[in-house]
Chains A and B, each alone.
Chain A
Amino acid sequence: MSLSQEQVSQIAYLARLSLSKSQLESNTKDLNNILNLAEQLAQVNTDNIEPMAHPLHMSQRLREDNVSEKDQSELFQSIAPQTGKDHYLVPTVIE
C-alpha cells in the first residue's frame, strides 16, 4: 500500500496542516515508509485473532456517577484568547 501526494495533501487538509510543496514530498515519502514497515504484518496469518483495540491487556475502570467538579471557569477562561459574557469567543462560524 502506498499513498499518493494527493491523498497526503487531503489528509493534511483534514488535520488543518498547511504543507509546502517540498514538505508534501518528504511527508509522502515518510508516510509511505511507515506504511511499508507496518505492511510486514500482512505476512502473518491473523485468522481467528481478535483485532487489538489497546496494547494493554486491561479493561476500562468505571467511575461512580457522582458530581465532584467545582466551577473553575474563571481560571480556565483566564488563559483563553478571548471571552465574553461567560462564553469562549471564536471567529464567527456560519452554518
Chain B
Amino acid sequence: MEWETVIGLEIHAQLNTKSKIFSSASTQFGAKPNSQACAVDLGLPGVLPVLNKEVVSKAVKFGLAVDAHINQRNVFDRKNYFYPDLPKGYQISQLDWPIVGEGEIEITLGDKTKVIGVTRAHLEEDAGKSIHDLYDDYTAVDLNRAGTPLLEIVSEPDMRNAKEAVAYAKKIHALVQYLEICDGNMQEGSFRCDANVSIRPMGQEKLGTRAELKNINSFKFLERAINLEVERQQDILEEGGEVAQETRLYDAVKHETRSMRSKEEANDYRYFPDPDLLPVEISDELMAQIKQELPELPQEKKARFIAEFGLSEYDADVLTSQKPMADYFEKMIVNNADHAKLCANWIMGELSASLNKHQLELLDAPITADDLSLLVNRIGDDTISGKIAKDVFKAMWDGEGSADEIIEAKGLKQMTDTGAIEAIVDEIIANNQAQVEQFKSGNEKILGFFVGQAMKATQGKANPKLLNEMLRSKLG
C-alpha cells in the first residue's frame, strides 16, 4: 500500500532575555548549579510571578514576522504534572488564549515553495534539569533553567516528509535569529524540536494515529528520527497492527525511538487560569513600539539583495537563509560593492565548502568577512586570477596571513606585463607547430592546450583574459 506521511512540529525557542519570564533571576547558561534559581523559580510559598515585558515583546515580534494574529489580550494557565525538575508541581503556560494566533511561513525546497501554517505560539516557563548520572542512588536536580522564557511554536500538520519538516524547522530557526529573540543554539537546548508523526493510506483524509518524537537536538537527527518513525509505523500497519498514540524518545546513538510510557498516564494536565497572574493586555502603544523595533526580515533582505546588488534569486535565497551568512555578505560588500556576485560566489563556494569540510559554523570561520573581502578585491583589481585566489584562500584558512601578505610572500602577483607574456606565448607557439596546425584547421579545443602551457610556464600567474586574447590573435 502507498502511504502518506503527515508531520506537525512543536518548536520550543528559549527567548534570549537577561532575566527569567516571571522572576528577576539570571538566565545565563552554564552557571553554577542552582545559583540562578530564586524563590519564585523554586515555587516557595508566598511568592508572586511578575511577567517580563521583554518576553511579551519578543513573542509579538515572532507573531508579526509570521503574519499572525496577535492576541493583545492573552492569559496564563497552570499545566499540572509532577516531576522533580518542576518545583511548583505545575508549569505556567498558555492554553486557550495564547499570545500569538494563526500565522504562516513559506518554505523552499529546491525550486518549489510551500506555505506551512503556524497554528499558534504561546509563552511558557522552562523546567529545570534532572541529571541521572551524577549519583548512583539519586537523581540530581539543577533548577537554573526553571523559569527561562520559552516560546512554543506549533505548526499545522502541513508537512508531508522529513525534508519538508527540516526545511520548516530551519526556516523558523533562521527567523528567530533574524528577530534576535533566540540564540538558536540547539546543543545547549535553546532551540528544541518535537515532531508529531503519523501516516495514512494515500488519498485518505482522516489522519492516522500520531506518535510524538522528543529529544531531537539537531536538524540531521530530526530528519533521521522522522524517517525511522515512518518506517516503524508502516511496519506495524502493514502487519495489521495499530499505532499507539504515545511519546517516543529518539536515541541518536542507537538510532532508534523508544516509548516513554511514564508520560502516558499523566496526560491529563488539568489546565486552569493561573490566579497569580492577571490577563495580559498589550496596549496599542506597545504594539506600535514593537513594530518599529522589528528588524529587516529574511524575505525583505532577499528582495533588497536582488535589487541593490543584482544577485540572482537563488544566490539571494541562499545568502539570506541564515542570518550569520547574510551578515558576512553585507560586511564583505562594504568595500566590494562592485563585486557583489563575486563575494556571493566566494561565500557560497570556497568558504561554505571549507566550513563543511572542517564541520565549522560560519561564526567560527578562521577567515573573517574583512579578510575575504580583501581577497575578492585582489581578484577584482586583477592582482591575481580566480584560480590563484583559491590557493591564497587555502593559505589564509591555514593562518598564513592576510591575502596581501600571502600574495607578496609567495610571489603570486598576476603577470600583466604584455611583453613578458608575449615572449612566453611566442616560444610555446614555436615549439608546438603540430598543435598550431590543428587549431588552424578548425580545432578550437586545442586552444586550451596553449593556455595550459602558458599557465605552466608562468606558474599560473598570467592574466587569463590577456593570455586568451593574445593566443587568439597570434594563432588566428
Mark out the residues of chain B between 93 and 151 whose CB falls within 8 Å of any chain A CB in the assembled complex: 96-97, 130-132, 134-135, 137-143
A61 and B132 alpha carbons, distance in the complex (Å)? 39
Selected from B37, B56, B278, the residue in CB contact (under 8 A) with A73 is: B37
Segment from A26-34, A35-43, A81-89 that makes contact with B: A81-89
Mark out the residues of chain B between 7 and 56 whose CB falls within 8 Å of any chain A CB in the assembled complex: 17-19, 23-26, 32-39, 42, 44, 50-56
A65 and B38 alpha carbons, distance in the complex (Å)? 15
Are B138 and A84 touching (Cβ within 8 A)? yes
Count how many chain B residues have C-beta atoms less than 8 Å from C-beta atoms of the other chain: 57
Nearest CB in chain A to that of B24: its residue? A68
Are B54 and A69 touching (Cβ within 8 A)? no
Residues on B with C-beta less than 8 A from A51 are: 96
A18 and B274 alpha carbons, distance in the complex (Å)? 25
Are B260 and A95 touching (Cβ within 8 A)? yes
B80 at the interface (CB under 8 A from A): yes
Are A89 and B19 touching (Cβ within 8 A)? no
**Contacts A60-B280, A61-B50; is A95 near B141 (CB within 8 Å)?**
no
Are A62 and B53 touching (Cβ within 8 A)? yes
A77 at the interface (CB under 8 A from B): yes
Are A95 and B262 touching (Cβ within 8 A)? yes
CB distance from B256 to the nearest CB of A (A): 15
A92 and B26 alpha carbons, distance in the complex (Å)? 28
Residues on B with C-beta less than 8 A from A82 are: 138
Count how many chain A residues have C-beta atoms less than 8 Å from C-beta atoms of the other chain: 40
A67 at the interface (CB under 8 A from B): yes
Are A85 and B134 touching (Cβ within 8 A)? yes
B287 at the interface (CB under 8 A from A): no
Contact with A along B46-85 (1 / 0, CB 8 A): 0000111111100000000000000000010000101110
Nearest CB in chain B to that of A75: its residue? B39
B380 at the interface (CB under 8 A from A): no
CB distance from B340 to the nearest CB of A (A): 38
Residues on A with C-beta less than 8 A from B24 are: 63, 66-69
A53 and B77 alpha carbons, distance in the complex (Å)? 9
A94 at the interface (CB under 8 A from B): yes
Are A64 and B37 touching (Cβ within 8 A)? no
B386 at the interface (CB under 8 A from A): no
**Contacts A73-B37, A85-B140, A92-B137; is A65 near B132 (CB within 8 Å)?**
no
CB distance from B52 to the nearest CB of A (A): 5
B273 at the interface (CB under 8 A from A): yes
CB distance from A71 to the nearest CB of B (A): 4
Are A76 and B34 touching (Cβ within 8 A)? yes
Contact with A along B199-224 (1 / 0, CB 8 A): 00000000000000000000000000
Residues on B with C-beta less than 8 A from A66 are: 18-19, 24
Selected from B39, B142, B249, the residue in CB contact (under 8 A) with A87 is: B142
B281 at the interface (CB under 8 A from A): yes
Nearest CB in chain B to that of A87: its residue? B140
Are B52 and A62 touching (Cβ within 8 A)? yes
**Contacts A53-B273, A67-B25, A85-B134; is A90 near B139 (CB within 8 Å)?**
yes
**Contacts A62-B52, A67-B24; is A89 near B141 (CB within 8 Å)?**
yes
**Contacts A54-B278, A65-B17; is A87 near B131 (CB within 8 Å)?**
yes
Residues on B with C-beta less than 8 A from A15 are: 80
B277 at the interface (CB under 8 A from A): yes
A69 and B26 alpha carbons, distance in the complex (Å)? 7
Selected from A53, A56, A64, A84, the residue in CB contact (under 8 A) with B97 is: A53
Selected from B75, B82, B140, the residue in CB contact (under 8 A) with A88 is: B140
Contact with A along B297-320 (1 / 0, CB 8 A): 000000000000000000000000
A1 at the interface (CB under 8 A from B): no
Closest 5 CB pairs of A and B: A87-B140, A65-B54, A59-B281, A62-B53, A86-B33
Could you pull out 19 A-B pairs where Cβ atoms are within 8 angstroms?
A: A53-B97, A54-B279, A59-B279, A60-B281, A63-B24, A63-B50, A65-B52, A65-B54, A67-B25, A69-B36, A71-B32, A73-B37, A88-B84, A89-B138, A89-B139, A90-B139, A90-B141, A92-B132, A93-B84
Q: List residues of chain B with CB under 8 Å of any chain A CB.
A: 17-19, 23-26, 32-39, 42, 44, 50-56, 75, 80, 82-84, 96-97, 130-132, 134-135, 137-143, 249, 260, 262, 265-266, 268, 270, 273, 275, 277-281
Inter-chain pairs besides A62-B50, A87-B33, 8 sampled, C-beta below 8 Å: A10-B268, A54-B75, A63-B51, A67-B24, A69-B24, A73-B37, A92-B132, A93-B139
